[in-house]
Amino acid sequence: MSSVRTRTVRLDLDAGSASERPDTLAVEEPLQLEVDGRELTVTMRTPGHDVELALGFLHAEGLLHDAGDVVAMRHCAGTGPDGEPTHNLLRVTARAGSRLAGERVARPFTTTSACGVCGSLSVGDVLARVPAPLHDDRVEVGPDVLAGLPAALRAAQATFERTGGLHAAGLFTADGELLCLREDVGRHNAVDKVVGWGLREGRLPLRATVLVVSGRASFELVQKAAMAGVPVLAAVSAPSSLAVSLAREAGMTLLGFVRPPRANVYAGEHRVARPAGTGVGPRPTSVLT
């Protein structure tokens, strides 16, 4: 269940009046992840696609190479305070001999719906873990495709349409075809769900794709994209300084403020096709018009 109905009182601050009306809220609940009987993390998320979320999280942390490192995943049913069933515990059985089954998993992580990176704290840490080099991915994305991506992402956000309270991550081809979209209260969770989808589909590394996120581009989102082999990350809001540094070091193309008719390119501008005669100067940030 990704949304719930609730009672609210709407205030008209100009008129000084109030009226009662129903509203729809995005659901936020904890998900406890156990690996071989040991608690690994508890994260706040929007229920749905939990297996993908777990796979994407484990991959970003460098604990699993592909879906074959997991023998089984299953929800353990419980009940909430209202007596309704919950599925907030996910038990993972790791393949013997995999890193996921190793000693490192004995150290628990703590995450929230606002943060993502748990074990990787620096650019160097991430670069050492990236399994597939991004520099040699020659994909090119045209301005017309980039201009249409925010609207395509927004059009596919079914739960956001009802609640206005969820982030989204969408994986597109270089031609603008939507491959996968996931929503969550946490932007990093939405990306983990997309990467987890890629793992389940056997698509990693995600070559020649564009990952579009509905909020800002933080360090952890660039990390997760780089680990999954995504060459282009586009955000509708701002990147952080560390996100830009990581994107440049990893050979990724990073765009921010993708709001037609403009977008800022912070790294990897060679992957953005431009009409002849519109070359960009030596500054690290360019503006497409």
Q: What is the DSSP letter of 108?
A: -
Q: How many helices (H) and strands (E) does the chain have?
A: 7, 15
Q: Which of 76, 115, 118, 180 is labelled catalytic?
A: 115
Are 178 and 184 contacting, i.e. CB atoms less than 8 angstroms apart?
no
Q: Whole-angstrom Cα distance, residue 266 to residue 42? A: 33
* Residue 118 annotated among the catalytic residues of the structure: no
Residue 82 in 3-state DSSP?
Answer: coil
- Per the DSSP assignment, residues forming a β-bridge with 34 are 39, 91
Are 180 and 157 contacting, i.e. CB atoms less than 8 angstroms apart?
no
Diameter of the chain measured on Cα atoms: 67
Q: Whole-angstrom Cα distance, residue 265 to residue 254? A: 6
CA angle 212, 111, 188 (to 5 degrees): 0
Please choose, from the candidates 31, 8, 78, the residue with its C-alpha nearest in 3D space to the C-alpha of residue 185.
31
Peptide bond before residue 30 is cis, with ω within 30 degrees of 0: no
Give the length of the chain.
Answer: 289
Which of the residues are catalytic? 115
